[in-house]
Chains A and B, each alone.
Chain A
Amino acid sequence: MTETAPISAQHRARHFFSRLRIGLFGSVANTIVTLCTLALLAWLIPAFLKWAVFDATWAGDQSACAARAGACWAFVSAKLRFMFLAFYPQELQWRPVAVILILVTLFSASALPRFWRKELLSAWPVAVLACWLLLAGGYGLSPVSSNHWGGLPVTLFVWAVCFASATPIAILLALARRSRFGGLRTLSIIYIEVMRGTPMVAILYVAMLILPMALPGAQFDKMIRAMIMITLFWAAYVAEVVRAGLQAIPSGQEEAATALGIGYWRTMQLVILPQALRLVIPGLVNLAIGFLLATSLLAVIGIFDLLNAARASATDPGWLGFYNEAYFVAAIVYFVICFSASRYSLWLERRLRADTRI
């Protein structure tokens, strides 16, 4: 940016339009892409509007919807509670709603660099425990079996807890993989490669079927078993991202720290990791988006995450077969979360680059 003088609104508008023109029609290839996109939109949007607005049914029951060709939003309003909270008892539904609020607040706070302090680190276990208490009950709250949990709180909770617990394990794995001790290094490599070479569905089946048979004494809750296995699985992925960050730090820094007499752990904690983790934040956000979508695999072990609850809501004989509407709602929720995460990642990248610029 060379312009330092204040830019008038008129000038800015002209600037915007000229950039738009260059962007859309600047070259032959751009023009072709623009025209194709416009044609595609012209073809899709009217059909979508016809389905979603003009032919849609906004109130009534199944038969009212069946009489019209468009979307059945009456179905969504009848099933919204089920899609978001699934089997959670209706009279206690403030609890999963509170869980959603707590987690969203926690995510927002964690996303802003101004909150990146020690307190935030201790806020995480507190918030997670509070969410668990709210969902499971106890201490005066009536207990609710994890069998009845479902919908958005489960999706967000599993995502948050597993990602947060995978990160420390991943850091240890990444350090071990770069360790001088051959045995430790080999173990870490084996662990990471085995986990990354296994589909998440297989991991979930292990959690569901092999664990209870292998540990007959320990009758863990299904949700806890699944969360432990997912954490161990995600840790392998996060470890590789963290390792990329570690490798980006010049080895001179570690050598300098050693020369100053700083021990290994202090060196990692004070010199290497703060820089390495900062470098890989965009990569971690990218992983987090992928993991959010992967939580829908919980359906294979019968947990009603958001997507599975949306699907199941269309199997009610009173509202049979409105899969398009159900999936549409789920898609919007996933999109909102993923899109904000990816915009956030871009913003953070710019900001961190500005911070580290010399």
Chain B
Amino acid sequence: MKSQGLIRSVTKSAIAAGMLATAAFSAPAYAGPTLDKINQRGAIKVGVGTTPGFFAPDSSGKWQGFFIDYGRALSIAVFGNPDKVEFTNSSPQQRLPALQSGEFDVLLSGVTVTITRAFKLGFHFGPTIFYDGQGILVRKDLGVTKAADLDGATIGAQSGTTGELNVADFFRKTGKKFTPVTIEDTGQFIAALESGRVDAITQDSSDLVGKRTQLKKPDDYIVLPERLSKEPLAPAVAGGDDRWLEIVNWTVNATIQAEEWGITSKNVDEFLKSEDPAIQRFLGVDPALGEAIGLDPKWAYNIIKAVGNYGEIFDRHLKPLGWDRGYNRLWTDGGLLYSPPFR
């Protein structure tokens, strides 16, 4: 009893101290404390996860992936150099508190934008860079092409996740039956599917696409087109540094805008000769825009030159894993990606 009381009071005072500390850090909103820290340190600290295609170490121990390229793009925007960025892996439970405590300057770990995270945790989200959603991976021999046709199937979901709840909601809506099988460890999903213990598994489709490539016969399985949930993944920053947030916003927008104009890492130099005043502003041929916002006028040019536009980043990391652009097409192609104007 005594010891419990002690823990409680220690925890209380620790939390109180923590809140004081956070308050002290986040009070001067205009001063840009995050950006100050970044400049002082000479590097951006980025929190990432480990999901194939999105962030994974290669054989030489360098981070590679879709979100990793955005980390490099931010480094170019701030320092003009893609390597002034430190990627740190963190577990899902730890990411958000670590962003709050200032351990990271930005999370590029596939955080879903939600209202509680914005209001209660005080995070700001950049533009959604990946529209994900919960999907269902099924054996083809069930003869099912859309989720609404699934009836009486045995579906594996990770225990304790929203995935488990979403699939139950979905079947309540369609009025069909299913047998849930909860699986503790996502590593066992594949074994369960291949051994026939389950007919289908459900998870965020970003994970399912990776899982499908690990199956012995990937062609015997398909990811159904429906998404049972909305999972918009966006960069997240702690509140209190508006300028840093804007740099994150417009770095992402620059990759989207470049794709809209057809500017790629290969042809960007030809676009320097473009007569279009919007492109001249964008690439810094006309330095007025860069000077007005206080960034290197060539910042967008440098980003496109080094990491490419959105489509190039996507094709480099996600296409080889069997990803389809889906919602992540430009708005001009019927997708959801849309950059505000650069002017």
Report whether chain A binds chain B.
yes
Task: Say yes or no: B57 contacts A82, CB within 8 Å.
Answer: yes
Q: Are B50 and A315 in contact (CB under 8 A)?
A: yes
Question: Interface centre among B61, B320, B321, by most A CB within 10 Å?
Answer: B61
The stretch among B2-10, B148-156, B167-175, B227-235 that forms the contact with chain A is B2-10
Residue of A nearest to B96 (CB): A209
CB contact list, A125-163 vs B, under 8 A: 145, 147-148
The answer to whether residues A190 and B53 also contact, given A302-B88, A304-B89, A320-B210 and a CB cut-off of 8 A, is no
Contacting residue for A302 out of B53, B64, B94, B102, CB 8 A:
B94
Query: Which residues 279-309 in B have Cβ within 8 Å of A in the complex?
Result: none
User: Chain A: interface secondary structure?
Assistant: helix
**Option from B18, B52, B187 in Cβ contact (under 8 Å) with A316:** B52
In the complex where A216-B21, A216-B25 touch, is A320 in contact with B57 (Cβ < 8 A)?
A: no
Asked whether, in the complex, the Cβ of B3 is within 8 Å of the Cβ of A301, the reply is no
Query: Using an 8 Å CB-CB cutoff, how does the interface string of A189-226 with B read, 1 for contact, 0 for none?
Result: 01001100100000001001110111010000010000
A86-B317 in contact given A194-B6, A208-B94, A312-B89 (Cβ < 8 Å): no
Q: Is A79 an interface residue (CB 8 A)?
A: yes
Chain A 70-106, CB-CB to B under 8 Å as 1, else 0, gives 0000000011011001111110000000000000000
Query: Contact at A316–B57, with CB atoms within 8 Å?
Result: yes
Chain A interface residue count, Cβ-Cβ cutoff 8 angstroms: 43
Find the residue from A81, A210, A222, A304 having the highest chain B CB count within 10 A.
A210
In contact, A82 and B94 (Cβ under 8 angstroms): no
Q: Say whether A295 faces chain B, with CB atoms less than 8 Å apart.
A: no
Interface residues on B, range: 35 or more
Q: Are B61 and A316 in contact (CB under 8 A)?
A: no
Residue of A nearest to B103 (CB): A212
Given the known interface contacts A145-B86, A216-B25, A321-B213, the answer about A86 and B91 at a Cβ–Cβ threshold of 8 Å is no
Contact between chains at B57 and A312 (CB < 8 Å): yes
Given A190-B2, A302-B88, A317-B317, decide whether A209 and B97 contact each other with a Cβ distance below 8 A: yes
Q: Is the CB of B57 within 8 A of A87?
A: yes
Residues of B contacting A316 in the complex (Cβ-Cβ under 8 angstroms) = 52, 56-59, 64
Are B317 and A313 touching (Cβ within 8 A)? no
Report how far A148 CA is from B89 CA in the complex, Å. 10
For A317, give its contact among B18, B21, B100, B320 (CB under 8 Å).
Answer: B320
> Which residues of B have CB within 8 Å of A209?
94, 97-98, 101
Which residue on chain B has the smallest CB distance to residue A80? B59
A299 on the B face (CB < 8 A): yes
Q: How far is the CA of A205 from the CA of B102 in the complex (A)?
A: 15
Q: Say yes or no: is B22 at the interface (Cβ < 8 Å to chain A).
A: yes
Which residues of B have CB within 8 Å of A212? 101-103
Q: Are A194 and B3 in contact (CB under 8 A)?
A: yes
Give chain A residues whose Cβ lies under 8 Å from the Cβ of B51.
Answer: 315
Measured in the bound complex, the distance between the Cα atoms of B61 and A88 in whole Å is 7
0/1 string, A287-304, CB within 8 A of B gives 1: 000000000000111101
Contact for A214 among B2, B18, B58, CB less than 8 A:
B18
The complex places the Cα of A338 from the Cα of B90 at a distance, in Å, of 28
Quick one: which of A69, A82, A302, A320 contacts B52, CB cutoff 8 A? A320
Q: Is A323 an interface residue (CB 8 A)?
A: yes
A233 interface contact, C-beta 8 A: no
Determine if A213 and B17 form an interchain contact, defined as CB atoms under 8 angstroms apart.
Answer: yes
**Do most interface residues of chain B lie in helix, strand or loop, or is the interface mixed?**
helix
Known: A315-B51, A317-B320, A319-B59. A213 touches B21 (CB 8 A): yes
Chain A residue numbers with a CB within 8 Å of B121 are none
Contacts known (A216-B21, A321-B214); A300 close to B94, Cβ less than 8 A: yes
Q: Is the C-beta of A252 less than 8 angstroms from some C-beta in chain B?
A: no
Task: Specify the chain B residue showing the minimal Cβ separation from A209.
Answer: B97
B residues near A69, Cβ cutoff 8 Å: 216
| A214 in contact with B98 (CB, 8 Å) | no
Q: Is A250 an interface residue (CB 8 A)?
A: no
In the complex, whether A6 has a CB less than 8 A from a CB of chain B is no
Query: Which residue of the partner chain A has the closest CB to B91?
Result: A300
B94 touches A301 (CB 8 A): yes
B14 at the interface (CB under 8 A from A): yes
Q: Are B61's CB and A85's CB within 8 A?
A: yes
Q: Is B116 part of the binding interface, using a Cβ–Cβ cutoff of 8 Å?
A: no
Among B56, B59, B213, the most chain A Cβ lie within 10 Å of the Cβ of B59
Give bound CA distance, A313 to B53, whole Å: 13
Contact A208 B57 (CB under 8 A): no
CA distance A86 to B87 in the complex (A): 13
Check B60–A317 contact: CB distance below 8 A. no
Residues of B within 8 A of A315 (CB): 50-52, 56-57
Q: Chain B: which residue is nearest A75 at the CB level?
A: B59
A81–B60 alpha-carbon span in the complex (Å): 8
A318 at the interface (CB under 8 A from B): yes
Q: CB-defined interface of A256-299 with B at 8 Å, one 1/0 digit per residue?
A: 00000000000000000000000000000000000000000001
Please indicate the chain A residues that have their CB under 8 angstroms from the CB of B320 in the complex.
317
Interface string of B229-270 (1 = CB under 8 A from A): 000000000000000000000000000000000000000000
Least CB distance from B19 to A in Å reads 8
CB atoms of A82 and B61 under 8 A apart: yes
A319 proximity list for chain B (CB < 8 A): 59
- Distance (Å) between the CB of A150 and the closest chain B CB? 8
**Min distance, Cβ B94 to any Cβ of chain A, angstroms:** 6
**Interface positions of A (Cβ within 8 A of B):** 69, 78-79, 81-82, 85-90, 145, 147-148, 190, 193-194, 197, 205, 208-210, 212-214, 216, 222, 299-302, 304, 311-313, 315-321, 323
Which 5 interchain pairs have the tightest Cβ spacing?
A213-B18, A321-B214, A216-B21, A315-B56, A302-B90
Q: Can you list 25 residue pairs at the A/B interface with Cβ under 8 Å? A: A78-B59, A82-B61, A145-B86, A147-B86, A194-B6, A194-B7, A209-B98, A210-B15, A210-B18, A213-B21, A213-B100, A214-B14, A216-B24, A216-B25, A299-B91, A300-B94, A302-B88, A315-B52, A315-B57, A316-B52, A316-B56, A317-B56, A317-B320, A321-B213, A323-B187
State the B residues within 8 Å of A (CB).
Answer: 2-3, 6-7, 14-15, 17-19, 21-22, 24-25, 50-53, 56-62, 64, 86-91, 93-94, 97-98, 100-103, 187, 190, 210, 213-214, 216, 317, 320-321
Other than the given A213-B101, A214-B17, 10 more pairs (CB < 8 A) read: A82-B57, A90-B60, A213-B18, A300-B91, A300-B94, A312-B89, A316-B56, A317-B317, A319-B59, A320-B52
